[in-house]
Structure 1
Amino acid sequence: MASRISELVLDAADPDRLAAFWSEVLGYVEFHREEDGSIHIGPPGVGFGGPQPTLVLSPSSDPRPSKLRLHIDVNPTDRDQDAELERLLALGARTADVGQTGTESWHVLADPEGNEFCLLRTRLQPL
């Protein structure tokens, strides 16, 4: 028996803003809101429990102490890495420096609240 990742939870100063950003990045839709303001997003028509993990954007006013110990990697599905990089930057991502050398095959970015994530080169088939 094994486990699989069903949800990733991100603390957010502005859950609505991050839900909108990550929904656009991943092609996700909002499918649930908690009374505490948490927003659940996931693949359209699937929601929780599907093959891709859902994201929960949880309201938090706690300051982020430092670099996150976990980050998200994304891969383009319908365009090359350069075109996807342009799209992500237009959505509000920004480049981030975490000490990379400049020779990496991936781009380090940050979402609108500064959470680092990487755009990898390999194009994946959409689910």
Structure 2
Amino acid sequence: MACRISELVIDAEDPARLAAFWCDVLGYSELEREDDGSIHIGPPDAGSGGPTWMLPTLVVNAGRDPRPGKLPLHLDVSATDRDQDAELARLLALGAVHADVGQSGEESWHVLADPEGNEFCLLRTRVKPV
């Protein structure tokens, strides 16, 4: 048996705000709050670790140690029930902003940042809901 990604961890200055943003983006719910301020979010009623390899839990940790330069990890998201333009409008309304990482403008994806500046991409390909 191989490993699977069960959790992705994001450091945040305001974990509650960032957890709420990602819950709205992904259709996740708050699963658990730890004494250290960390908030686990994931598919509703899934429990920490996600029910399948496709649905990892996001752990939003309290505290942030800013790093200069490109982030070593980012999330890619794909719409499930609308086209890319409609999903882009939804994400921007939730608080995402466009991010410039040197793209040419010819890409098939949009580079965005969440309310704390963490970059993520909205891909053109629509995926089936789980």
TM-score, normalised by the number of residues in structure 1: 0.96
Deviations for 1:57-91, whole angstroms, at most 9, x for unmatched residues?
Answer: 00014234332110000000010000000000000
What pairs with 1:52-71 in structure 2 (closer than 5 Å)? 52-71=55-74
- Is residue 90 of structure 2 the alignment partner of residue 94 of structure 1? no
Query: Could you say what the CA RMSD is over the residues aligned between the two structures, in angstroms?
Result: 0.9
Structure 2 alignment gaps of length 5 or more? none
> 1: distance between equivalents of 2:27 and 2:9?
17
- Is residue 53 of structure 2 the alignment partner of residue 83 of structure 1? no
In structure 1, what is the equivalent of residue 127 of structure 2?
A: 124
DSSP-derived class of the 2:92 partner: helix
- Is residue 34 of structure 2 the alignment partner of residue 31 of structure 1? no
How many residues matched?
A: 127
Deviations for 1:36-71, whole angstroms, at most 9, x for unmatched residues?
Answer: 000000001212231200100000142343321100
Name the amino acid aligned to 1:113: E
Name the amino acid aligned to 1:5: I
In structure 2, what is the equivalent of residue 12 of structure 1?
A: 12
> 1: distance between equivalents of 2:97 and 2:62?
22
What pairs with 1:98-113 in structure 2 (closer than 5 Å)? 98-113=101-116
CA drift of 1:105 comes to: 0.3
Percent of paired sites with the same residue = 73
Structure 1's 3 and 94: CA in aligned 2 closer, same or farther, altered over 3 A?
same
DSSP-derived class of the 1:84 partner: helix
> 1: distance between equivalents of 2:44 and 2:69?
33
> 2: distance between equivalents of 1:91 and 1:7?
23
Bigger mean CA deviation after superposition, 48-57 or 62-71: 62-71
Structure 1 alignment gaps of length 5 or more? none
